Amino acid sequence: MSLKEQLAEYRAGWYQRVPAERQAIMARHIEQLRGTIAKTMLKVGDRAPAILLENAKGATVDVGTLLKKGPVIVIFYRGGWCPYCNLELRAYQAMLSEFAAAGASLVAISPEKPDDTLSTAEKNALAFEVLSDVGQKVGRAFGLVYEFTEELKRAYQGFNLDIPARNGTPDEWALPVAATYIIDRDGRIIYAYTDVDYRDRADPRDVLAVLTKKAVAA
């Protein structure tokens, strides 16, 4: 199945499992984001901020260095606790060789602590860099980070998710929009998928098509 099909299948089950009241909270939250953060997120043509973060093994990764070799795909995901994120990461891993053949590197960024990003990388058998943006400095530079409302906190607590503990930031309830970018070698964004609905993600085949078209044009 394609990533879109996998996400749709999981989402159908989610509607059956999750109480209606909690579903309504999540729906309100998504609509609120459409009217607020959707205006702040970086878009095609913008210059990408510097990305200098620790990977799952504690080593510092400079995306600027990767850009010297070719375009970089940057995936912002919410955390290893998010089933939609894990489906996404595995789908991109499955196409890693095709991205490499198109001359691109791939990194994934979450606000989780390095220990948790290591768990995510191991659980999903990821062979690309998984970076830890504790404090969400990079996520905020991309305009992706939103603060939780009180009712959204209650919804996540209903899922038994303590976001501040996961992210190593006491009392800060905040997450990034799940977004996918392609940054070109000159630092400009040439592809941006920034749907505020966390259940929807960029299909890796669409990302590959952009890279392939760029390579042909070059």
Tens digits of pLDDT across the chain (218 residues): 899 999 999 999 999 999 999 999 999 999 999 999 988 999 999 999 999 999 988 899 999 999 999 999 999 999 999 999 999 999 999 999 999 999 999 999 999 998 888 888 899 999 999 999 999 999 999 999 999 999 999 999 989 999 999 999 998 999 999 999 999 999 999 999 999 999 999 999 999 999 998 776 66
CATH number where 90 lies: 3.40.30.10
CB of 85 closer than 8 Å to CB of 78: yes
Measured CA to CA, the distance from residue 195 to residue 4 in angstroms comes to 13
Measured CA to CA, the distance from residue 72 to residue 48 in angstroms comes to 11
For strands 105-110 and 72-76, give the pairing: parallel
pLDDT score at 210:
96
Give residue 194's domain range. 3-217
Measured CA to CA, the distance from residue 212 to residue 95 in angstroms comes to 13
pLDDT score at 216:
64
pLDDT score at 218:
61
Measured CA to CA, the distance from residue 140 to residue 152 in angstroms comes to 20
Q: Which residues pair with 74 in a beta bridge?
A: 107, 181
**Count of domains forming the chain:** 1
- In sequence order, the 6+-apart residues with CB closer than 8 A to the CB of 178 are 76, 77, 78, 84, 85, 88, 195, 198, 200, 201
| Helical H segments across the chain, by residue range | 3-17, 20-35, 63-67, 83-94, 96-101, 114-123, 137-141, 150-158, 163-167, 204-217
Which amino acid makes up residue 129? Answer: E
CB of 138 closer than 8 Å to CB of 51: yes
Measured CA to CA, the distance from residue 104 to residue 214 in angstroms comes to 11
